[in-house]
Amino acid sequence: MADPKRLILACAQPGHQLNPLVKKRERVVGGQRLAEPNGEGFPIYAPCAGTVTDVAPALSSTGDFVLAIFLENDGSGETAPALPGWDDPTDPTPEAIRLRALEAGIPDVARGGIALARSLAPTTPIQTVVLNGCTTEPLVQAERVLLHHEWETVLFGFRAAIRAIGAPEAIVALSVADRPLVGTLSQSLTERDAITIEILPDRYPQGLERYLLAALRGVDLPVGEDPATVGFAVFDVTTMHALGRALRDGQPFTHRVVTVAGDGVARPGNYRVPLGMPLGALMEAAGRQGTIRQLVWGGPLSGTAVASEEIGVCANTRAVLAYQQPVSFEVPTTDCIRCGRCIDVCPERLSPIYLARYAEHKRWDEAEAEGALLCSSCGACSYVCPTGRPLVQSIQLARYEILRQREAERASQPKEVAVP
């Protein structure tokens, strides 16, 4: 997809805000650094050349306003020189791989967008590195497209991640639907690679780390724990693709593949789009049709409706679904019949019905105690509920409120002042 006229690049990362390096009316070229982190984050880069029209708050997918850089594409296609690359992912040292991941502004998408460089420097011994090719939910094909069409780049990044972490074993986990890929992928592997390809059932949410590790090695990952606690490092396909490009081609992370679907677009598909592309521009480019009454940020089960088309695509935007009728109101909601299905399907072993009840009554402390922050927003509970209760939506609201209150408390704490 061609780069749009305007981009909205959020300067927010988990836990902190970036420092913009550009000012209003400043001209930039593609690949130029636009903002850098205060602490543990990573920089962001211009996906294309153009002029900064503003540095101001912009709406994010959570409904919050975050500082953003507004960039007007001048169509010149001018880019900054690429960094030097390596022909072989085992040539750079582990430290050089981590440094390039940081310099190239690559997030670990599966870890909520923390810097990939952090995930490549685990603090506990890692036995197995896993490339998670099972992350897709129905309709969402962004990662599969990379596996099918850009496998060499993904493998480059994955080999580098294995080297950086120093694990003796590695697994590429695929859904059974991708079994035809095995021959092609295997051809790229050599005896030097300690990589095996394993096929898992094609069911949702197989890609969740708890399910993934249980299926691969029978490991019971404790709820809320990182795979590193049981000796695993798990990476998603988009992250490994970005690492491959950064190391081989010297390119920063500026674009990602997004699935665009729904009856609001005439040309649904998987598009490589620049970070910061406004959802409205994405709709136009995919052939907006009819009146779009609901835009969903994410997949049909885990996604959430957003209130504006003036939100820029981010590193974690795997899909955008556009509907002419709001799908969430098609199922009539009735009272809970206590069937327990939502509890049976929850991969995080939560009790969605109780979490949702606490959220409905704004009992945020009890929702937190019941594990609201452990919910992975997979949407399985809402999907199976025979009475159509909006369980995941209520739990997401609780998560949002709990985190907002924590942030407010942190902001109200007196700050230490250095005494001369």
Report the interface residues with ligand SF4, using CB under 6 A. Answer: 336-342, 345-348, 350, 352-353, 375-381, 384-387, 389, 391-392, 395
Half-sphere exposure of 412 (CA within 13 A, CB side): 6
The smaller minimum CB distance to ligand SF4, of residues 111 and 159, is found at 111
The smaller minimum CB distance to ligand SF4, of residues 115 and 353, is found at 353
48 within 8 A of 31, measured Cβ to Cβ: no
CB of 234 to ligand SF4, least distance (A): 17
The smaller minimum CB distance to ligand SF4, of residues 248 and 389, is found at 389
Q: Which of 255, 12, 213 is nearest to 113 (CA)?
A: 12
The smaller minimum CB distance to ligand SF4, of residues 104 and 140, is found at 140
CB of 341 to ligand SF4, least distance (A): 4
- Residue 327 and residue 194: Cα distance in Å, rounded? 45
CB of 398 to ligand SF4, least distance (A): 10
The smaller minimum CB distance to ligand SF4, of residues 31 and 207, is found at 207
Locus of tokens 């009539």: 332
The smaller minimum CB distance to ligand SF4, of residues 49 and 353, is found at 353
Q: What is the DSSP code string of 205-250?
A: TTTSHHHHHHHHH---PPTT--GGGGTEEEEEHHHHHHHHHHHHT-
71 within 8 A of 54, measured Cβ to Cβ: no
Alpha-carbon dihedral 346, 333, 298, 410, rounded to 10 degrees? -70
Conformation bin of residue 117: beta by default, left when phi > 0, alpha when psi is -120 to 50:
alpha
CB of 357 to ligand SF4, least distance (A): 9
CB of 45 to ligand SF4, least distance (A): 33
CB of 376 to ligand SF4, least distance (A): 4
The smaller minimum CB distance to ligand SF4, of residues 189 and 336, is found at 336
CB of 315 to ligand SF4, least distance (A): 22
Q: Which of 363, 394, 358 is nearest to 379 (CA)?
A: 394
The smaller minimum CB distance to ligand SF4, of residues 139 and 343, is found at 343
- As given in the structure block, the two tokens for residue 267 are 């040309």
CB of 152 to ligand SF4, least distance (A): 34
CB of 209 to ligand SF4, least distance (A): 12
Q: Where are the alpha helices (DSSP H) in 268-330?
A: 279-285
**How many other C-beta atoms lie within 10 A of the C-beta of residue 308?**
14
b/e map of 314-324 (b: 16 or more CB within 10 Å)? bbbbbbbbbbe
**How many other C-beta atoms lie within 10 A of the C-beta of residue 184?**
11
DSSP class of 286: T
The smaller minimum CB distance to ligand SF4, of residues 137 and 178, is found at 137
Q: Which of 247, 245, 266 is nearest to 255 (CA)?
A: 245
CB of 296 to ligand SF4, least distance (A): 15
Q: Would you report the helix, strand and coil content of the chain in percent, each value rounded to 5?
A: 35, 25, 45
The alpha carbon dihedral of 302, 151, 256, 372 has a sign of positive
The smaller minimum CB distance to ligand SF4, of residues 126 and 378, is found at 378
The alpha carbon dihedral of 46, 50, 51, 56 has a sign of negative
CB of 61 to ligand SF4, least distance (A): 17
The smaller minimum CB distance to ligand SF4, of residues 173 and 346, is found at 346
